């Protein structure tokens, strides 16, 4: 019998301004989290050039099965532009994506 893996990821807070964003997340995979990755992209640019900023948090054993993290981007943002923020949760190896959440937003 194969046991189904349950994993959840959610963006819990998103505070944008022209200097960047503050992004809060929560995640819970059954078998432990090896890495949480944050990605910020500009939706108006071509895919090959749309990355604004990214950050990774690695975890050492014993691996957590519940995390709450906050990440702050360092890239300046443009008023009126639309962006997408991602949170990716990776399994205990830190390689295999097990859950993600994303949120689109515009800077006022």
Question: Regarding the domain with residue range 7-106, which homologous superfamily does it belong to in the CATH classification?
Answer: Immunoglobulins (2.60.40.10)
Task: Give the pLDDT score at 31.
Answer: 82
Q: Which segments in the chain show pLDDT lower than 50?
A: none
- pTM to 2 decimal places: 0.87
Dihedral angle sign, alpha carbons of residues 92, 94, 15, 7: negative
Residues 34-65: tens digit of each pLDDT: 999 999 999 988 887 899 999 999 998 888 98
């Amino acid at each position: 019998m194969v046991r189904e893996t349950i994993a959840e990821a959610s963006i819990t807070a998103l505070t944008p301004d022209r200097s960047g964003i503050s992004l809060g997340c929560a995640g819970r995979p059954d078998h432990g989290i090896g890495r949480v990755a944050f990605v910020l992209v500009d939706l108006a640019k071509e895919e090959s050039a749309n990355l604004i900023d990214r950050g990774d948090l690695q975890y050492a054993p014993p691996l957590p099965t519940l995390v709450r993290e906050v990440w702050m981007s360092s890239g300046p943002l443009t008023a009126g532009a639309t962006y997408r923020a991602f949170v990716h949760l990776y399994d205990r190896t830190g390689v295999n994506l097990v859950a993600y959440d994303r949120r689109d937003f515009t800077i006022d």
